């Protein structure tokens, strides 16, 4: 394992307080592009990624889920959604 990767893995953190600035759309798209390569059972990739930057939609998401408090001040989020009916159940 490279030192650069090891350093990244050991120093990563969860951000809960956001800076009050816009997130460039190209950065959000790049994050989604990288996330598409995450492994999934049987490579079924049951997810969809939705980039949300609209303030009203972010506030609506914030009220739907009790752990979504950081969305109240966020300028953007990437919602990862799936339809369980479309995912085959193998276990």
Provide the sign of the torsion angle of the four alpha carbons 54, 55, 56, 57, taken in this order: positive
Task: Tell me if residue 77 falls in helix, strand or coil.
Answer: strand
pLDDT in the model for residue 33: 93
What is the value of pTM for the model shown? 0.73
How many other CB atoms are found less than 10 A from the CB of residue 74? Answer: 21
**Taking the CB of residue 84, how many other CB atoms lie within 10 A of it?**
7
- Cβ atoms < 10 Å from Cβ of 59: 13
Res. 28: pLDDT tops 90: yes
The pLDDT tens digits for 41-91 are 777 777 899 999 999 999 999 898 888 888 888 899 999 998 877 766 655
- Residues 27-49 have a mean pLDDT of 86
CB 88 within 8 A of CB 42: yes
């Amino acid at each position: 394992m490279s030192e650069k990767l090891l350093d990244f893995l050991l120093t990563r953190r969860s951000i809960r307080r956001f800076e009050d600035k816009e997130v460039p759309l190209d950065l959000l798209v790049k994050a989604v592009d990288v996330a598409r390569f995450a492994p999934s059972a049987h490579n079924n990739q049951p997810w969809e990624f939705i980039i949300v930057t609209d303030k009203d939609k972010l506030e609506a998401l914030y009220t739907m889920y009790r752990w979504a408090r950081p969305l109240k001040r966020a300028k953007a989020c990437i919602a990862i959604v799936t339809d369980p009916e479309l995912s085959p159940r193998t276990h």
